[in-house]
């Protein structure tokens, strides 16, 4: 039975740190960067983000199919992780680079770079998470391995959430556009370094057979047939879509909420830090809660409590007299 050493586990987790630094800065600050720094129409920005999320619903399973049919001497996962990282790091630099275009050219540049960022991120993200079953034969060890990258990812989100805007101000010397551009370059470099560590630090157990062509390959038709016939897979996909939409909304609107509703943009650091700490508590607390109350109960609570918390958050922005409930103010 193949076991993954602790250096291997850490090497795998480091990859999540790099890729989630990238995802965190884009998911949290890119919409703010477009509307408040580049002065892009919010309607265009919102439609672009909506189209990109809908495109992900097609892009993700297609990438999974490509990975499943990959056969190389380095396995089916690591080549895509490294290639996707390099391409995504380059696109990230251009994402926060304002070339000085105007009008339709500027909107085209933004749309193309953002969609390319999503495609190249999927190129690396899907094989990264799909690699877990190939790292070890031990089911219990897989549970341990899956927690480690999520811890690294949560730390990355906390760092970007708490230090993101201060770093933009520091690096840009007061100019947000320059600050975002320089921060993007720095994160891209860290991203590549982390993925290189993962590439050389872990090895999936299918490498020895990866060069053969006798393994069964999956076609697009077979993939669609599995999705249509398996109602459990459809439920998981629907939940993933809803989770990603809600996650994008809460993180993407956090800066606007703090700046325009609370009136203190710097509060976004505290808000996102609290969110990151909560995620870490959830990761460490899940095994205990699941053993105490059962997975189904924890799953149900994890869907209810965020909704209640979000409702309280929204109610907290309104005046104490709540005259808005009657449709107007006195």
pLDDT in tens, 261-293: 778 887 888 888 888 888 888 878 877 887 888
- More reliable by pLDDT, 170 or 218: 170
Q: Residue 254's closest CA among 154, 164, 149, 122?
A: 164
Q: Does residue 320 carry a pLDDT above 60?
A: no
Give the list of residues 6+ apart from residue 224 with CB closer than 8 angstroms, or none. Answer: none
Tokens of 197: 């560590």
Looking at residue 316, its pLDDT comes to 62
The rounded distance, in Å, linking the Cα atoms of 316 and 35 is 25
Contact 7, 197 (CB under 8 A): no
- More reliable by pLDDT, 46 or 321: 46
Looking at residue 224, its pLDDT comes to 67
Q: How many C-beta atoms lie closer than 10 Å to residue 196's C-beta?
A: 18
**Residue 211 three-state SS:** coil
Tokens of 220: 């697009």
Contact 128, 19 (CB under 8 A): yes
Contact 283, 154 (CB under 8 A): yes
Looking at residue 205, its pLDDT comes to 65
Contact 218, 134 (CB under 8 A): no
User: Using one digit for the tens of pLDDT, what is the confidence trace for 41-63?
Assistant: 999 999 999 899 888 877 877 88
User: Using one digit for the tens of pLDDT, what is the confidence trace for 201-257?
Assistant: 998 765 444 444 445 665 656 666 666 677 776 777 777 777 777 777 777 788 888
Task: Name the phi and psi angles at 313, rounded to 5.
Answer: -60, -45
Give the list of residues 6+ apart from residue 54 with CB closer than 8 angstroms, or none. Answer: none
CA atoms within 13 A on the CB side of 192: 14
- More reliable by pLDDT, 329 or 241: 241
Quote the mean pLDDT of the chain.
83
CA 48 centroid distance within chain: 17
Contact 126, 63 (CB under 8 A): yes
Q: How many C-beta atoms lie closer than 10 Å to residue 261's C-beta?
A: 13
CA 286 centroid distance within chain: 21
Tokens of 235: 């439920």
Contact 4, 141 (CB under 8 A): yes
pTM over 0.85: no
Q: How many C-beta atoms lie closer than 10 Å to residue 314's C-beta?
A: 11
Give the list of residues 6+ apart from residue 250 with CB closer than 8 angstroms, or none. Answer: 310
- Alpha carbon separation from 116 to 22, 90, 203, 326 (Å, rounded): 14, 10, 28, 46
Domains and CATH numbers, the chain: 1-203 (1.20.1250.20)
The rounded distance, in Å, linking the Cα atoms of 18 and 187 is 8
């Amino acid at each position: 039975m193949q076991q993954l050493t602790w250096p291997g586990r850490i090497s795998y987790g480091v990859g999540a740190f790099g890729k989630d630094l990238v995802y965190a800065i884009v998911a949290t600050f890119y919409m703010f960067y477009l509307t408040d720094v580049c002065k892009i129409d919010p309607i265009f920005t919102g439609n672009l983000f909506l189209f990109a999320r809908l495109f992900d619903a097609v892009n993700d399973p297609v990438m999974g199919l490509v990975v499943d049919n990959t056969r190389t001497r380095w396995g089916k996962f690591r080549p895509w992780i490294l290639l996707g990282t390099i391409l995504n790091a380059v696109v990230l630099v251009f994402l926060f680079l304002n070339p000085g275009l105007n009008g339709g050219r500027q909107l085209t540049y933004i749309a193309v770079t953002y969609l390319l960022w999503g495609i190249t991120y999927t190129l690396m993200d899907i094989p990264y998470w799909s690699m877990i079953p190939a790292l070890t034969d031990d089911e219990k060890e897989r549970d341990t391995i899956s927690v480690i990258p999520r811890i690294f990812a949560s730390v990355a989100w906390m760092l970007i959430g708490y230090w993101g805007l201060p770093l933009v101000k520091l690096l840009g010397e007061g100019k947000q556009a320059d600050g975002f551009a320089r921060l993007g370059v720095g994160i891209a470099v860290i991203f590549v370094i982390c993925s290189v560590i993962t590439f050389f630090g872990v090895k999936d157990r299918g490498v020895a057979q990866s060069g053969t062509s006798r393994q069964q390959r999956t076609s697009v038709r077979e993939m669609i047939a599995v999705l249509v016939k398996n109602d459990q897979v459809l439920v998981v996909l629907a939940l993933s879509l809803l989770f990603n939409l809600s996650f994008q909304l809460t993180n993407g609107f956090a800066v606007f909420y703090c700046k325009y509703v609370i009136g203190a943009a710097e509060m976004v650091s505290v808000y996102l830090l609290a969110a990151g700490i909560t995620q870490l508590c959830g990761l460490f607390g899940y095994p205990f809660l699941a053993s105490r109350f059962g997975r189904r109960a924890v799953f149900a609570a994890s869907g209810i409590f965020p909704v209640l918390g979000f409702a309280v958050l929204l109610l907290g922005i309104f005046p104490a007299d709540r005259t808005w409930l009657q449709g107007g103010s006195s």
